[in-house]
Amino acid sequence: NINQQRKKFVLSSCIEYFDKKQEPLFFKCANSILIGSLLSQMNFEQGRRAYEFKNYQCFRKYHLNNKIDNVKIDNVKIDNVKIDNVKIDNVKIAVCLSGLFRGDIYKVIANLKFNLIDNLNADLFIFTWDRYVQYPGFCGDENWVYRLFGGKFLKKCPDELKTLSFLKQKFPNTYSKLNIEQGVQKINQKYIQDIVKCSNIQIQNEEEFISSLYLNMTSKRETNRIKMFYGIYKSIQMALEYEKINKFRYDYIFRVRPDIGLIGNIEIKDLNKLKNNELAVDFFSYGVQDQFFYAHRNVMIEVAKIWEYCYEKNDIFLRSFDSSHYLLFIYLTLRNILTVKPNFRRDVSLATRDNVFPNVAKELQEDFLKLNMKIENNINIKNFLEEMFLTSSN
């Protein structure tokens, strides 16, 4: 562990040194993301921002500029300034919820209303698909335990079980049954209106949407990413259409996924601190988070355009990034949009951790009989899996 000042010195020195040496490997995508995530965690303001821009510039210079002709992005200037004449009264805020409804949607909406909608007197716009899923199957690889059960279970999870690949290889029957969606039902606008009041709702069929694209999708992961960016785009477009009808403009827009909770607090004065080129979003060593973020209206409109550039215009270079977290970083780099810490922490298991899971008693028994004592930590793994899936199952 090193303190903030030393970390600042080491990072800034490395950036300056390797740029002077014109060393492209230091600024490859994974390294630039790591540098960006470390800078985003630092408290100093001006120095941090200067080196965030420097990191962007070096990444573009050594890795993007020779491909930039293939990235047909409009040259829209996003100013590095605060908005003049910041509004204190009658601030207009849109909350754009997009994605598949799953798990305890009532709990998620109650959390959203308390933290954002009622607190900020915000308008809610929802884009979703025409089905609800009670149990979604596995989400993520290295963080599946956290995504399904939360931090309490993650702390006592045996290390071997923290990756889905281990579960799939050693417990194939259990994995197969748990990786199937359960409790699927069709939903319509009335279903949502009975849960929460909205300014607008749009619902589409997933299969019809994917078929309409005529894109060659290489994996389920890419399909899910396409649906996510489309949902973000559509929900923000709804807010912009609502503006036209009612002849006003939103000052700030929030993007929220409908299966996460928010922990924290925000006030108008916190929003007013945002500069005109900043996106409030979590930024980690694996890239920029996509579940929850917010910014001034103009920044959110630009972020929503990822859908247009990647899929409507079918930009092969941007689509080549397998991770949405990497893609967001690339796009923010091209746009010179800086990240800042959001006021909220995400509760990614809010919708699922109290779920009723499929009964896998038979499958666990079969897997353990075949497994016998071939792996270390056998007893701890067995006890943990039973606690997770047999204490709350159909």
| Structure confidence by residue, pLDDT tens digits, 31-88 | 999 999 999 888 766 678 889 999 999 999 988 876 655 455 555 545 554 554 556 6
Residue 315 to residue 319: CA distance in whole angstroms? 6
Residue 299 to residue 209: CA distance in whole angstroms? 27
> CA triplet 376, 377, 383: central angle to 5 degrees?
145
pLDDT tens track for 135-150: 988 876 677 888 888 8
Residue 297 to residue 311: CA distance in whole angstroms? 22
In angstroms, what CA-CA distances link 336 with 27, 57, 112, 278?
A: 16, 9, 30, 9
For the chain, which residues make up each domain, given as ranges? Answer: 4-66, 93-136+182-347, 137-180+356-394
Neighbours of 57 (CB within 10 A): 15
Question: Measured on CA atoms in the order 136, 232, 224, 186, is the torsion positive or negative?
Answer: positive
**Tokens (6 digits) for 308:** 């247009």
CATH topology of domain 93-136+182-347: Spore Coat Polysaccharide Biosynthesis Protein SpsA; Chain A (3.90.550)
The pairing of beta strand 93-98 with beta strand 123-129: parallel
pLDDT tens track for 7-21: 888 889 999 999 999
Furthest-apart CA pair in the chain: how many Å?
69
The pLDDT value given to residue 310: 84
- On whether the CB atoms of residues 98 and 237 are closer than 8 A, the answer is no
In angstroms, what CA-CA distances link 284 with 31, 106, 111, 224, 228?
A: 12, 29, 24, 21, 19
Helix, coil or strand: residue 136: coil
The pLDDT value given to residue 377: 66
Candidates 387, 357, 390, 384; CA nearest to 170 is 384
Residue 45 to residue 340: CA distance in whole angstroms? 10
Residue 97 to residue 126: CA distance in whole angstroms? 5
Residue 111 to residue 114: CA distance in whole angstroms? 5
Return the DSSP state at 318. Answer: H
Task: State the Cα torsion 37-41-47-53 to the nearest 10°.
Answer: 30
Return the DSSP state at 148. Answer: H
Question: Measured on CA atoms in the order 300, 303, 309, 314, is the torsion positive or negative?
Answer: negative
Candidates 50, 55, 42; CA nearest to 340 is 42
**Tokens (6 digits) for 215:** 């894109």
Candidates 96, 100, 109, 97; CA nearest to 185 is 100
Q: Which long-range contacts (CB under 8 A, 24 or more apart) does 164-169 make?
A: 164/138, 164/140, 165/141
Residue 164 to residue 170: CA distance in whole angstroms? 10
Helix, coil or strand: residue 362: helix
Residue 127 to residue 202: CA distance in whole angstroms? 5
The pLDDT value given to residue 63: 85
**pTM score:** 0.90
The pLDDT value given to residue 341: 94
Neighbours of 226 (CB within 10 A): 20
Residue 138 to residue 9: CA distance in whole angstroms? 41
Q: Which residues of the chain have pLDDT under 50?
A: 70, 77, 81, 84
